[in-house]
Structure 1
Amino acid sequence: MRVAIVTESFLPALNGVTTSVCKVLECLRAGGHEALVVAPGTTPWAETAAPERYAGYPVHTVSSLPIRQFRVGLPSYELETVLHRFRPDVVHVASPFVLGVRGLTAARGLGIPSVAIYQTDMPSYIRQHSGPVGDLTARAAWRWIRRIHSQADITLAPSSAALQDLAAHDVPRVALWGRGVDSTLFHPDRRDDPETAALRRRLAPNGEVLIGYVGRLAPEKELHRLIELNGLPNTRIVLVGDGPSADILREQLPGVVLLGRQEGVDLARSYAAFDLFVHTGTRETFGQTIQEAAAAGLPVVAPARGGPVDLIDHGTTGLLFDPDRAGALRDAVAALAAGELAGERAMMGAAGRARVEERSWPALTEQLIGYYGRAIAQHSMAVA
C-alpha cells in the first residue's frame, strides 16, 4: 500500500503526534509498504532541522511559523503537486488543524481516500488560553473541527472519551483506534541497569519514593495540581520534559527535580527510576506517557476524565482521582507512596505491564491498515 502522511507535528519536535507518526512509519517499512511524509519545516537558523528522510521514507517539509513553541505548517498548494506525484492509495492526516486541512482538501480534490487521526483536544486548549471569550472560541473550534473531519472518509479517535466528544459535536464516520507502546524500550528490567541505579541514588539519596511525570511543562498539562503533593513525607517529585512552565514549577514545588527533555534509552531509564507515575491533565484524548509508565512496570495515578479512563483499571493498575475534589490527587498518591507499600506498587505495576503488552505498535499499525482499506472501500462507494 502507498500511504501519504500529512502531519501537524514531526521531528525534531517531540510529542504524542510525532511519536505516533514515527512508529507508524517504522511499522509500514517493516511491512513492505511505501510512504511519504509531509510536515512543518524548521527555520534555517534552527539548531535542529527536520530530517530529510525517516525510516527510509522521504520527508517533504513546508514553510512554518512558531506559535507558542510549536511549529505550525502553513497550508500550501504544493501539497496537491506532492500528492499527485506520489499517487498514494490513501492519505493519512495526523491531528489536522492547519496543514492537515490542506492535506484533506488536496486529497479530496485529487479523489484520494483519506483517514484523519483526531489526537489533540484543541477546543479545550483554546478555551484555556482565550480568557473571557474561552467558551465562545472553543465552540468555534468545534465547528472548525467538524468542518475539517467531515472531509475525511474516516476519523479515528484514540479513546472512548474522544469518540464521545466527536459524536456529540456531529463529526461523522468516526471509529476507535488507540496507540501502541514500545514495551521493549520501556521495561521493568531497566530498573536493574547500573545507570538506572545510579540515577536513583542521585534522585533519592535518602531512599525517597520518586513520583514521576513525563511530558510537556505547560499550562494545559495542569501541573499546578502537583502542589497538593508538597510536604508528602519521604517523597520527591521528578519532572521529565521542558516547556514554558518550568520556572514557575521550580517555585511552586520545593525540592522538585527537573531532568529536562529526554528520549530513547535515557527516557526509559527515568521511567525505571520512578516508584510511581502521576498524570495531571484532564483534557488528554489519550495519554501515551501513561502507557509508557505502565510498560515500565509503574502504577499510575491520573484524573478520572478523558483518555486515562480507558488506560487505568482503578485499584488494579493504578488509581483514578476526582479532578474536581481538592486533595483527591494527594490522597491517591499518599495511598501508594508510603514506603511499606512497595509490594502493592509492584503488583499494580505488573498488572499494568501485562495490559500494555497487548498494545504493540505493529499490532496497532495492522489495525490502522485495516482502516485504510475501509476508507478506500467507502470512498469507492461514495464516488460510484
Structure 2
Amino acid sequence: MRIAIVAESFLPLMNGVTHSILRVLEHLQERGDEVLVIAPSTQDAGAPDEVYGAHVHRLPSVPLAGYANVRVAMGGVYRVKRILADYAPDVVHLASPFVLGWRAAQAAHQLGIPTIAIYQTEVPGYAGRYGVPFLENWAWTRVENIHLLASRTLAPSSFALNQLRGRGIPRVEMWRRGVDTQRFSPGKRDAGWRAAVAPAGERLIGYVGRLAAEKQVQDLAVLADVPGTRLVIVGDGPQRQALEDALPDAVFTGFLGGEELARAVASFDLFVHPGEFETFCQTIQEAMASGVPVVATGRGGPLDLVENSRTGWLYEPGDLAALRNHVVDLMGDDAKRRAFAAAAHASVQGRTWSALGAELVQHYESVLAAHVPGTTPQGVAL
C-alpha cells in the first residue's frame, strides 16, 4: 500500500503522538509498504529526512507560543493537496489531527482519498488549563469537522470512543496502543539507580510525561511529605522551572529515552499520573509492563488501563486527598504493593505493537475497500 501519514508533531519532538507514529512506521516498513510522512519543519539540523524507510516532507512552521519546541505547520489546504496529489496515496493517516491535520482532511476529501483519523489528543480540554476556556467550544467544532470528514476515526479508549460518539461523530472504532514488553520489564529495575536518586533508601514515587499545564504535575505537591518516599519527575517542558520551585525535594531527571527510561520506570515503586485529559496514557502501560502499580485520575484512558484494587487505584478528578490516601495505602503496605505490581505486569502482556500494527492495516484495507471514488464518507457526490 501507499500511505501518507500527516503528523501534527514529529521528530525530533518526542511525545505520545510521535511514539505511536514511529511504531506504525516500523510495522509498515516490515510489511514493505511505501510511506510518506508530512510534518512541521524543525530548527534541529539533525532531524531525519527518512525514518523506517519513510520519506519525511517538512512544511514551514512556527513555534507554539509558550511552548517553543512544539511547532505549528503553516500554509493552506492547497499546499497539502498538492503534496498528496503528487504522492497519490491509497489512504491518508491523520495522526492526532487539529491544525495540519484539518488541512489534510480537507485536501484528502477534495482528492477523494480515504482517510483514517487517529483521535489521540483532547485538545479542547486543554483550553481551560491554558487560560482560554472560551476557546473550548471552537476547538470541539474543529475536532468534529475533522472527524466528520474522515472515512473512519480510531479512538484509543472506551472513554474517548464514547466521548466522540456522544458528539455525533460517526464511524468511530477502537484502536488501542501497544507496549514493548521487552523494553519495559521488571528486569530493568536497577538498585544502583535507585540509590543514586534516593540515597537514604526512600521508596520512589514516579511520574513520566511532559511538564506542561495539561498534565497537572503540580497536583503531586500533595505527595511531597509522604513518609519514607521520594518523588521522581521524568520529563521536560515549559513548566519545569515552576515545578522545580514548587517541588523542591523532588528529583527532576529531565527527558529520558530508550534504556534510560526503561531503567527509571522499572526502578519506581509506584507510578502516578494526575492528568485528566489523557485519551489513552501510554506511560501508564509502560509502568505496568515494568511491574509498577499505578495511581491515576479516573477519567479518560486510565479508566481502561487501571483496575481498582488490583493493578492500582483511580481517584476522582480534583480529589487530591484521595490521590494522597491511595499513595499512602500502597507505599505503606509492601505485600499489597507487590500484589498490585504482579497483577499490573500480567495485565499488559500480549499487547504488542506488532498486533496493533496489523489491526491498523486492517482498518486501512477496510476503508479502501469501501471507498467509492468521487463520494464523501456519507456517500454524497462531491
Is this a same-fold pair by TM over 0.5?
yes
2:196 aligns to what? 202
Distance 1:348 1:380 in 2: 50
Counterpart mapping for 1:79-228 below 5 A: 79-131=80-132, 134=133, 136-191=134-189, 196-228=190-222
Report deviation, 1:234: 0.4
How far the C-alpha of 1:381 sits from its partner, in A, is 8.2
Give unpaired runs (5+ residues) of structure 2.
none
Give the letter for the 1:187 counterpart: S
Deviation at 1:138, TM superposition (A): 0.6
User: Deviation above 4 Å: which 4+ runs of structure 1?
Assistant: none
SS at match of 1:93: strand
Q: Which residue of 2 aligns with 1:74?
A: 74
Separation of aligned partners in 1, 2:75 and 2:167: 25
Give the direction of change, closer, same or farther, for the CA distance of 1:237–1:165 in structure 2 (3 Å limit). Answer: same
Per the TM alignment, residue 101 of structure 1 is displaced from its structure 2 partner at its CA by 1.2
- What SS does the aligned partner of 1:367 have? helix
- CA distance in 2 between partners of 1:159 and 1:147 (Å): 21
CA RMSD, aligned part only?
1.5
What are the ranges of 5 or more consecutive residues in structure 1 without an aligned counterpart? none
Does residue 38 (structure 1) correspond to residue 38 (structure 2)? The answer is yes
SS at match of 2:236: coil
**Per-residue deviation, 1:172:** 2.1
Quick check: 1:153–1:378 contact (8 Å CA) kept in 2?
no
> Mapping of 1:322-337 within 5 angstroms?
322-337=316-331
For 1:179 and 1:360, locate their aligned partners in 2 and report how far apart those are by CA, in whole Å: 8
Identity %: 47
1:310 pairs with 2:307: no
Q: Once the 2 structures are TM-superposed, how far is the Cα of residue 22 of structure 1 from its aligned partner? A: 0.5
Aligned length: 372
Question: 8 Å contact 2:85–2:111 — kept in the other structure?
Answer: yes
Map residues 197-276 of structure 1 onto 2, 5 A cutoff: 197-276=191-270
Classify 1:382/1:347 alpha carbon distance in 2 versus 1 (closer, same or farther; 3 Å): farther
- Tell me the CA shift for residue 50 of structure 1: 2.8
Q: Distance in 1 between matches of 2:50 and 2:338?
A: 41
- Answer whether contact 1:36 1:59 (CA < 8 A) is retained: yes
1:380 aligns with 372
Residue 290 of structure 2 corresponds to 296
Change (3 A) 1:21 1:85: same
Instruction: State the match for 1:64 in structure 2.
Output: 61
Q: What is the identity, as a one-letter code, of the residue corresponding to 1:55?
A: Y
Cα distance, 1:32 vs structure 2? 2.1
SS for the counterpart of 2:37 is: strand
Q: Output one character per residue of 1:65-109: Cα deviation in whole Å (capped at 9) or x when no partner.
A: 100231111244332232223221110010111111121122112
Does structure 2 retain, via aligned residues, the 8 Å contact 1:130–1:137? no
Matches for 1:46-57 after TM superposition, within 5 Å: 46=44, 48-57=45-54
Equivalent residue, structure 2, for 1:7: 7
CA distance, structure 1, for counterparts of residue 114 and residue 306 of structure 2: 35
Q: Deviations over 1:316-347 (max 9, x none)?
A: 11111122334111001001112xx3332222
